[in-house]
Amino acid sequence: MRFLLVKAQSQYGSLRLHVDQLAAALTELGEDVRVVDTMLPFGTAAYVCAAVVDGADCVFTFGGVYGQEYGPVFKKCGITYASLYVDNPVHHLPRLEPPEHQYIAFFLDRTHQAFMQAMDHTGAFAHLGFLPPGANTLAGPVDVSREAYGERDIPILFSGTYRGEPERTWLDMPTAVSNLLSAIADRMAADGSLWIGAALRDALKASGIQLTLEFLRSIAPVLRFVQSFAEAYHRNAFLDVIGPAGLAVQTVGKGWGPLCERYRSFSHLGEGSFEQTLDLLRRTRVVINVNNGFVSGGHERVFAAMAAGAAVFSETSLFYDEVFIDGQDMVMFKTPAQSDVAVRLQHLADDLDFGARVAANGYAKTRAHHMWTNRAMQIVEVVRGLREGT
113-124 pLDDT, tens digit per residue, is 999 999 977 678
Report the pLDDT value the prediction gives residue 362, as an integer from 0 to 100: 98
Half-sphere exposure (CA, 13 Å, Cβ side) for 341?
25
Instruction: Please determine whether the domains at 2-134+372-388 and 146-165+231-369 fall in the same fold group of CATH.
Output: yes
| Residue type (1 letter), 318 | L
Query: Contact, 288 vs 235, CB < 8 A?
Result: no
**Res 190 pLDDT > 80:** yes
- Whole-angstrom Cα distance, residue 100 to residue 73? 10
In CATH, the architecture of 2-134+372-388 is: 3-Layer(aba) Sandwich (3.40)
Helix (H) or strand (E) holding 153: none
Q: Is 341 exposed, middle or buried (0-12, 13-18, 19+ CB in 10 A)?
A: buried
Show the beta-strand stretches assigned E in 249-382: 250-252, 267-268, 284-289, 311-315, 331-333
Report the pLDDT value the prediction gives residue 76, as an integer from 0 to 100: 86
Half-sphere exposure (CA, 13 Å, Cβ side) for 278?
19
Count of helix runs (H) and strand runs (E) in the chain: 16, 12
Q: How confident is the model over 299-348, as pLDDT tens digits?
A: 999 999 999 999 999 999 999 999 999 999 999 999 998 889 999 999 99
Phi, psi dihedrals of residue 372, rounded to the nearest 5° = -65, -25
For residue 3, the cross-strand partners are 33, 58
Check residue 315 and report its DSSP letter. E
In angstroms, how far is the first alpha carbon of the chain from the final one?
16
- Whole-angstrom Cα distance, residue 69 to residue 383? 21
Report the pLDDT value the prediction gives residue 214, as an integer from 0 to 100: 94
Q: Is 163 exposed, middle or buried (0-12, 13-18, 19+ CB in 10 A)?
A: middle
Report the pLDDT value the prediction gives residue 97, as an integer from 0 to 100: 85
Q: Is 305 exposed, middle or buried (0-12, 13-18, 19+ CB in 10 A)?
A: buried
To the question of domain 146-165+231-369 being in CATH 3.90.1110.10, the answer is no
Report the pLDDT value the prediction gives residue 156, as an integer from 0 to 100: 98
For residue 106, the cross-strand partners are 84, 129
For residue 251, the cross-strand partners are 158, 268
Q: How confident is the model over 85-115, as pLDDT tens digits?
A: 999 999 999 889 877 667 899 999 999 999 9
Domain assignments of the chain as residue spans, ordered by start: 2-134+372-388, 146-165+231-369, 177-220
**Res 200 pLDDT > 90:** yes
Report the pLDDT value the prediction gives residue 147, as an integer from 0 to 100: 98
* Residue predicted with more confidence, 202 or 54: 202
As a whole-number percent, the residues of the chain with pLDDT over 70 amount to 99
At 42, is the pLDDT very low, low, confident or very high (cuts 50, 70, 90)?
confident
Show the beta-strand stretches assigned E in 8-150: 32-37, 58-62, 80-85, 103-107, 127-130
Q: Any residues with CB less than 8 A from the CB of 381 and at least 6 apart, and which?
A: none
**Res 82 pLDDT > 70:** yes
Report the pLDDT value the prediction gives residue 45, as an integer from 0 to 100: 76
Half-sphere exposure (CA, 13 Å, Cβ side) for 359?
32
- Whole-angstrom Cα distance, residue 366 to residue 331? 15
Report the pLDDT value the prediction gives residue 390, as an integer from 0 to 100: 66
**Res 11 pLDDT > 80:** no
What's the whole-model pTM score?
0.94
Which of these, 308, 359, 379, 371, lies nearest to 142 by C-alpha position?
A: 308
Report the pLDDT value the prediction gives residue 98, as an integer from 0 to 100: 79
